[in-house]
């Protein structure tokens, strides 16, 4: 029996699965993210032990970045200059590949989540869509023409600039690089600094949400004009507040001003802007889905 590995590398924990699909998980382990020297051997042990009677075919890794995804680069497959202590210049794809002797597919956590949603989730069967995670930070990944979009490095969709009316909202923004970029204005960190409590704790009728959905809709308007996605999936901690979806959809329609002539965008926005179908399993199942792209 052929099985695949999925590794979701997060800032606090690493989730590993051996599975043939989302409904057929053979084994799973969660490891704390400490140093690479301590953490990676535990990950590799899990896969080396394996599952009786099952042959590991490939491993997918979805991780925080930035990553080097340029196949002609000498540091291809590395986590590059991350702010996470100890994890800069770690050859994560190479270490896994050498230890397990199987093909390894590396991508960013958001791009893995996007591929997972395209394989088993809300974007199943679609060739052009984006997955945006709005949590502590904001990140995005896209699949276009049926393939994960890399570009030169990889997108950093949370850092686009959006209109910011400082008379209405004098908050300067949280981003250390750009101040009031989208992430600087609308990430979980920004919300916590602005409102003095975590986004998850704010009640649905709090004034925070009017502003938050305003910024999210402005960013989506830009992504729609730039990429023309067939579907937008919004995940992450902040988006667990499901009452945000109708507000965001209405504002996106307003901001587009009837310009994108598609009934899906203009009328049926409830089928255009959706939560992830894989929920909080999007990360690890996304990593698993990367491995399947190497299936032969």
**Which one, 6 or 137, has the nearer CB to a second copy?**
137
DSSP bridge pairs for 3: 56
The b/e string for 108-139 (b: 16+ C-beta within 10 A; e otherwise) is bbbbbbbbbbbbbbbbeeeebbbbbbbbbbbb
Structure tokens at 87: 């994890």
Are 89 and 78 in contact by the 8 Å Cβ rule? The answer is yes
250 scored as a contact of a second copy (CB under 8 A): no
Which listed range, 43-51, 150-158, 200-208, 287-295, lies at the site for a second copy (CB under 8 A)? Answer: 150-158
Q: Which of residues 66-125 bind a second copy (CB under 8 A)?
A: 66, 80-81
* Burial of residue 36 (number of CB atoms within 10 Å: 0-12, 13-18, 19+): buried
Asked if residue 258 binds a second copy (CB under 8 A), the reply is: yes
Counting contacts by CB under 8 A, is residue 144 touching a second copy? yes
Interaction between residue 268 and a second copy (CB under 8 A): no
Least Å distance, CB 251 to a second copy, is: 12
Give the total of residues touching a second copy (CB under 8 A).
Answer: 45
Residue 169 found at the interface with a second copy (CB under 8 A): no
Q: Which of residues 201-230 bind a second copy (CB under 8 A)?
A: 218, 221-223, 225-230
- Cα distances from 161 to residues 66, 75, 125, 146, 186, in angstroms, run 20, 30, 31, 27, 12
In the complex, the residues that contact a second copy under the rule CB under 8 A are 66, 80-81, 128, 140, 144-145, 147, 149-164, 177-178, 218, 221-223, 225-230, 255-262, 264
């Amino acid at each position: 029996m052929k099985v695949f590995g999925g590794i979701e590398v997060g800032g606090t924990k690493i989730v590993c699965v051996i599975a043939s699909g989302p409904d057929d998980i053979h084994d799973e382990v969660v490891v704390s993210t400490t140093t690479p020297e301590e953490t990676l051997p535990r990950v590799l042990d899990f896969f080396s032990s394996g599952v009786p009677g099952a042959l590991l075919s490939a491993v997918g890794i979805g991780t925080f970045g930035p990553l080097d995804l340029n196949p002609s680069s000498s540091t291809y497959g590395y986590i590059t200059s991350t702010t996470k202590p100890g994890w800069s210049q770690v050859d994560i794809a190479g270490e896994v590949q050498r230890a397990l002797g199987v093909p390894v597919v590396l991508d960013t956590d958001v791009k893995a989540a996007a591929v997972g949603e395209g394989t088993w989730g809300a974007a199943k069967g679609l060739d052009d869509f984006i997955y945006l995670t709005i949590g502590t930070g904001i990140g995005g990944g896209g699949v276009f023409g049926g393939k994960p979009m890399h570009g030169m490095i990889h997108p950093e969709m949370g850092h686009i600039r959006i209109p910011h009316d400082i008379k209405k909202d004098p908050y300067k923004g949280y981003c250390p690089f750009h101040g009031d970029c989208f992430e600087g204005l609308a990430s979980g960190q920004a919300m916590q600094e602005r409102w003095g409590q975590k986004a998850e704790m704010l009640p649905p009728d709090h004034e925070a949400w009017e502003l938050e959905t305003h910024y999210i809709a402005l960013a989506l308007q830009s992504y729609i004009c730039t990429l023309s996605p067939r579907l937008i999936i919004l995940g992450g901690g902040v988006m667990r507040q499901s009452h945000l979806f109708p507000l965001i959809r209405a504002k996106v329609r307003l901001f587009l001003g009837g310009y994108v002539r598609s009934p899906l965008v203009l009328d049926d926005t409830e089928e255009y802007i959706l939560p992830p179908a894989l929920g909080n399993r999007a990360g690890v199942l996304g990593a698993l889905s990367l491995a399947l792209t190497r299936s032969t």
